[in-house]
């Protein structure tokens, strides 16, 4: 069975914003990983959930199709598989992430567009100093 088949067994990947947020909160709320992931809730976006893994597809006016709010509470590799699915079926060509996720996203063809040093002025409100000061990346994928 390939990784896409494993994602789609007994599940519909497109879900409501409420279902995405319930899964997001169940997986991340109160964990050390929570500040790393943006919690999207706009009804214009497409929300995907597979088991305990989810993401948001955001279509920007400039032609970028972003996979944001990607989280994985399932088996190792499920987040990357969901991103790969989003690339294939939704045309995702843009991601943003904290270090070290840029290395994982590069496996799927994303290249660094910009890299910024950590800036407390832009840090998520729940960021704790114990999480360090990782660089922030924007990445694009050429088709």
Question: What domain count does the chain have?
Answer: 1
Q: Please give the pLDDT value at position 20.
A: 95
Q: What is the DSSP letter of 37?
A: S
pLDDT, position 10: 41
> What is the predicted pLDDT for the residue at 142?
86
pLDDT in tens, 91-143: 999 999 999 999 999 999 999 999 999 999 999 989 999 999 999 999 999 87
- Rounded distance, CA 69 to CA 104, Å? 15
Residue 11: pLDDT over 90: no
Whether residue 34 contacts residue 28, with contact meaning beta carbons closer than 8 Å, is answered with yes
Q: Model-level pTM?
A: 0.88
Grouping H, G, I as helix, E, B as strand and the rest as coil, residue 19 is helix
Identify the domain containing residue 55 by its residue range.
3-141
Token representation of residue 8: 């789609």
Whole-number Cα distances in Å, 85 to 94, 115, 139? 14, 25, 17
DSSP one-letter code for 88: H
Confidence of residue 12 (pLDDT cuts 50, 70, 90): low
Reported as half-sphere exposure (CB side, CA atoms, 13 A), residue 28 has a value of 21
In this predicted structure, what is the pLDDT of residue 59?
Answer: 96
Instruction: Give CA–CA dist 55/70, Å, rounded.
Output: 4
User: Which CATH number is 84's domain given?
Assistant: 3.40.630.30
Q: Taking Cα atoms as reference points, which of 31, 93, 28, 92 lies closest to residue 54?
A: 28
């Amino acid at each position: 069975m390939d990784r896409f088949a494993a994602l789609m067994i007994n599940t519909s990947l497109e879900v409501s914003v409420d279902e995405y947020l319930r899964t997001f909160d169940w997986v991340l709320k109160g964990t050390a990983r929570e500040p790393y992931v943006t919690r999207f809730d706009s009804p214009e976006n497409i929300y995907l959930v597979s088991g305990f893994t989810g993401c948001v597809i955001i279509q920007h006016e400039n032609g970028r199709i972003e996979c944001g709010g990607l989280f994985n509470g399932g088996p190792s590799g499920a987040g990357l598989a969901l991103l790969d699915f989003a690339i294939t079926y939704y045309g995702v060509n843009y991601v943003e992430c904290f270090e070290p996720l840029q290395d994982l996203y590069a496996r799927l063809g994303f290249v660094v567009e910009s890299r910024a040093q950590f800036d407390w002025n832009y840090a998520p409100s729940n960021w704790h100093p114990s999480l360090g000061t990782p660089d922030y990346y924007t990445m694009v994928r050429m088709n």
